Amino acid sequence: MIRIDANIPFVEPPQWAILERSLIDLMNEAVAPIMERYVRADGSVLWPTTENFQSIDGLDDAYESFHNWPLFYLLGGGDHILDHSHKTFDGITAQFAHYDSGHGHPMIVKEYEQGYDWMHQGEGYTFFYQLCLADPTNQQNIERAKRYAGFYLNEDPEAPNYDPDRKIIKCAHNGAMGPAFRNFDKYYTAYRYASWKPWPLPYRDLEGIDSVEDLQQPGMEEKMGRAVVERMGRGDAACNLAATSLVANAYLCSGDDKYRDWIVEYVGAWIERARQNGGQIPDNVGLSGKVGEYLDGKWYGGYYGWTWPHGWHTLGDAVIAAAENAALLTGDLSYLDLPRRQIDLLMEQGEIRDGTLHAPHFYHDKGWDGYSAMQAHPMIHIWNMSMADEDRARVERQRDQRDDSWRKIRSHSSKHGAGHESPWVAYLQGDYPDYPLDILRHNHAQVHQRLAFMRDDQQDPATYGDWYLQVRNPVMTEGLLHLAMGGPLFMYNGGLLQARLRYFDAQRQRPGLPPDVAALVDTLEDRRTGVTLVNLSATQTREVVLQAGVCGEHTFVRASYQTRRALSAEEAGLGHTHEAQYRELVQGQLEGQTTEIGARHFSVRLAPGAHIRLDLEMERHVNDPSYALPW
């Protein structure tokens, strides 16, 4: 492996580097209250609060509470973070195998979800994907990854989820026990007004039901529930596209082409359906393979689709994650046309209000609905992978101009602790130079707020809900991910991590930045990446391995940088000069260097108190991606 030596001393350590390392140190300590007070010794959690808990829902929330812990480890978090991640995933998996699904069998079968939709499975299993990425040599999880994916390749005769002839997943609820038609009959016929109230109507063609409030009339709740069972309870749903992440994860663990082939086939089938529908992806397919089979031919109205309950806000995550997975595994970025076209169609229907584009996010019998300012992360995900100028232009057109939120850090509540993709892109474009400091300070504040909440916490554990750990999770990785790795948070409803760089500690031979080392990506272009590395240690040399892409899918062509030439005797005697003079002295000793790399890895050895800025020429999406470690 080619190694570059970094020997330029900094006169003053960069504030962003100090904040990065202090945030890592803070979070390394912040997880102790969680493990000591809110997690049992076996890794199980304190919700559900009764042993006779029965539901098809809730497993995802337990997993979500730790979704970013493996990500923190592979950014440089301590070894104990990985240990806790394995412990809690194993503990929750075992725990929920003891709860009944409401059908006379457990919620978890063969260590996997018995059968639920991919909005919820997608949220929950991001924890597992990051765990496999952080520790790809763990044999138990490699075996799990292949077994889980096998439920969608029909390798388990008890889980025939997929119809290879029609290229459909047979039900919107699916899992280790195959198509879960049973869930609809029992779950949605029991829905009542309180359950329907937060969301728009699934259907607007039922006599006597013109608004959600009409469901309070006698018999109307049951009427809507029966319609959902009849229209959504069979056949494929576009939200199932998030299952491609589960299958892609197995490929990245094993390298077996059968997983890539399945993704190409399944995503390709949805691309063809969109093509036949004028570019608009339909959200439902019947068991015969016909779009709209149970909806009088309508392309909308499927489960977690265009009409109900979240529209594009959930559907988009699944479509984008699938496109990213197919592009990652094949190197063919044209897969991004599928979500790009959907976003274009929404923008075409949009209107400018107060200088900001508002677009619809729902479609039903009366047409487009749910106009609002567009979320930033869908288009930024597409741009992050494509690096196309046209996609950057789309990002800029979608910015919320009403309060300049695209170049501000704003506190808001979210399960993933993220949501600052627009300010991050503004920083990369030179419009928000203070973003690194602002986001890292914000992340510090988030962690301290969670710690204060736990110190003051008087809630009776008997009253915990499925969210109890999510609101206490003190791990906040957004700033570290943007700044160090050069990528957005994975699509929360089921995507894989997509970023430009990844790091490994060469001396300890483990993922993550070495101790004392901070990284700042300041440039992302199609063939170019700019990153600064800093070693804050006053006495220890650190060596960091850089990888081109999260899964080594890119190649470093060459690196341009500066080094400090050897001091003359006269210059060495000037080491006692004042700060300004010393800066000039160091600057006068710098020489430009270029190193040919031609590989997906190289290392940088950082002298104590040294820094280096690397201008990296890259070829993107030219390697087979893998979770494999550099050594």
Which residue has better confidence, 583 or 354? 354
Beta carbons within 10 angstroms of residue 359's beta carbon: 21
Asked if residue 570 has pLDDT above 70, the reply is no
Torsions phi, psi of 290, nearest 5?
A: -95, 130
Q: What is the pLDDT of residue 417?
A: 83
Asked if residue 482 has pLDDT above 90, the reply is yes
Cα dihedral 504, 509, 511, 517, rounded to 10, equals: -50
Which residues have CB under 8 Å from 105's CB, separation 6+? 114, 177
Helix (H) or strand (E) holding 131: helix 118-134
Whether 152 and 243 have beta carbons less than 8 Å apart is answered as yes
Which residues have CB under 8 Å from 535's CB, separation 6+? 6, 516, 517, 541, 542, 606, 607, 608, 609, 610, 611
Q: Please, what is the Cα angle at 621 between 618 and 627, to 5 degrees?
A: 105
Q: Report the C-alpha gap between 68 and 318 in whole angstroms.
A: 19
- Written as one string, the DSSP assignment of 294-306 is TTTT-S---TTSS
The mean pLDDT of 572-579, rounded to a whole number, is 64
The mean pLDDT of 335-344, rounded to a whole number, is 98
Q: Report the C-alpha gap between 556 and 595 in whole angstroms.
A: 10
Q: Report the C-alpha gap between 485 and 273 in whole angstroms.
A: 35
Q: pLDDT tens digit string along 391-450?
A: 999 999 999 998 888 999 988 777 788 899 999 999 999 999 999 999 999 999 999 999
Q: pLDDT tens digit string along 502-540?
A: 999 999 999 999 999 999 999 999 999 999 999 999 999
As a whole-number percent, the residues of the chain with pLDDT over 70 amount to 98
- The pLDDT-based confidence of 588 (bands split at 50, 70, 90) is confident
Q: pLDDT tens digit string along 309-325?
A: 999 999 999 999 999 99
pTM of this structure: 0.96
- The pLDDT-based confidence of 567 (bands split at 50, 70, 90) is low
- Written as one string, the DSSP assignment of 266-278 is HHHHHHHHHHHTT
Q: What is the pLDDT of residue 571?
A: 61
218 exposed, middle or buried (CB, 10 Å; 0-12, 13-18, 19+)?
Answer: exposed
- Helix and strand numbers (H, E) in the chain are 20, 22
Asked if residue 484 has pLDDT above 70, the reply is yes
Looking up tokens 């997929």 gives: 162
Q: What is the pLDDT of residue 418?
A: 86
CATH class of 3-503: mainly alpha
- The pLDDT-based confidence of 572 (bands split at 50, 70, 90) is low
Torsions phi, psi of 618, nearest 5?
A: -135, 155
Q: What is the pLDDT of residue 576?
A: 63
Q: What is the pLDDT of residue 483?
A: 98
Q: Please report, for the chain, the start and end positions of each structural domain, with discontinuous segments joined by +.
A: 3-503
Q: What is the pLDDT of residue 189?
A: 83
User: How many CA atoms within 13 Å lie on the side-chain side of 210?
Assistant: 1
Q: What is the pLDDT of residue 405?
A: 84
| 374 closest CA partner among 390, 393, 397 | 397
For residue 329, the one-letter residue type is L
- The pLDDT-based confidence of 481 (bands split at 50, 70, 90) is very high
The mean pLDDT of 142-159, rounded to a whole number, is 98
Summary mean pLDDT of the chain: 96
The mean pLDDT of 162-172, rounded to a whole number, is 98
The mean pLDDT of 37-41, rounded to a whole number, is 98
Q: Is 293 helix (H, G, I), strand (E, B) or coil?
A: coil
> Looking at residue 35, what DSSP letter applies?
I
Beta carbons within 10 angstroms of residue 386's beta carbon: 19
> Looking at residue 481, what DSSP letter applies?
I
Asked if residue 488 has pLDDT above 90, the reply is yes
Q: What is the pLDDT of residue 566?
A: 75
The mean pLDDT of 546-574, rounded to a whole number, is 87
Q: What is the pLDDT of residue 468?
A: 96
The mean pLDDT of 361-379, rounded to a whole number, is 97
